[in-house]
Amino acid sequence: MRAGHVPGIIIGPDTVCFVMDPTRSGHVLARHAGIDEETGQLEPAPDGGPRRLVLSTDFYKVYESAGNKAEGLASLWCWAHMRRHIVRAGDANPVQLKYWTQEWLDRIRALYAAHDALMAAWQENAAPAAGQEQAAAARLAQARSAWDEAISVIDAARKEQAAAPGLQEPAKKALATLDREWDGLTAHRDYPMIDLDNYPDAAVMPMSAGSGVPVAGQGGALAA
């Protein structure tokens, strides 16, 4: 990504410098991501053609709204934030939700492992060694299947538990969040070059590029 694509950001070989804003308003997102505030659409690329952007964020409503309006903008929600909702539900009622919480953390841990494998397979397939093209493609297909299996386990559990009577209120709220943010949480499958978490420890508002698609992330080690 060239520095000129995002106002106030300087990107070098080993350094990224950001201009910080005191709020997370829609105006700030529009300025940083190149969104026309009047239309809600992504501004054209430098050559005048359509532009694509992947937004990797938490569940903040400004980001959700932008993703719902702008064509070419894909929204990926942060699994660390979803995991935190699960943990907080367990903390609210540790006696009755201890095992419920652990089972959910195990499911999410399995998804992280599947995503790590998918990311590695995607990277290998993007630049396979000579003569390894078919093998790399096969490993990528296998990794995608494993990711599908891990997310299917989560999907089945959330639906079964949402329909079951007697679930404690903190758990209901966590599952309601999971249901509400489901599309953005599962969209990671199509962007294996992007982490499930949106805030690397070394960054405050990381921005990078994956497979030619600009990626914007909002967060930081303390942002969650």
pLDDT tens-digit map of 179-220: 999 999 999 999 999 999 876 443 333 333 333 444 444 443
Categorise residue 131: left if φ over 0, alpha if ψ from -120 to 50, beta otherwise: left
Residues 16 and 38 in one domain: yes
- Let me know if residue 118 belongs to a domain: yes
Residues 179 and 139 in one domain: yes
- Let me know if residue 224 belongs to a domain: no
Residues 32 and 123 in one domain: no
- Let me know if residue 175 belongs to a domain: yes
Residues 154 and 206 in one domain: no
User: What's the pTM?
Assistant: 0.78
Confidence label for 15 from pLDDT (cuts 50, 70 and 90): low
Residues 87 and 175 in one domain: yes
Alpha carbon distances (Å) from 65 to 55, 61, 162, 219: 12, 6, 26, 18
Residues 85 and 163 in one domain: yes
Residues 97 and 67 in one domain: no
Residues 62 and 110 in one domain: no
Residues 204 and 139 in one domain: no
Confidence label for 9 from pLDDT (cuts 50, 70 and 90): low
Provide the mean pLDDT of the chain. 82
- Let me know if residue 73 belongs to a domain: yes
For residues 208 and 90, is the Cβ–Cβ distance under 8 A? Answer: no
Confidence label for 46 from pLDDT (cuts 50, 70 and 90): confident
- Let me know if residue 223 belongs to a domain: no
Rounded Cα distance, 170 and 87, in Å: 10
Residues 186 and 209 in one domain: no
Domain span at 59: 3-78+197-217
**Does 48 have pLDDT greater than 90?**
no
- Let me know if residue 222 belongs to a domain: no
Give the count of domains, the chain: 2
Percent of the chain whose pLDDT exceeds 90: 52
Rounded Cα distance, 169 and 160, in Å: 16
Residues 117 and 186 in one domain: yes
Residues 100 and 176 in one domain: yes
- Let me know if residue 24 belongs to a domain: yes
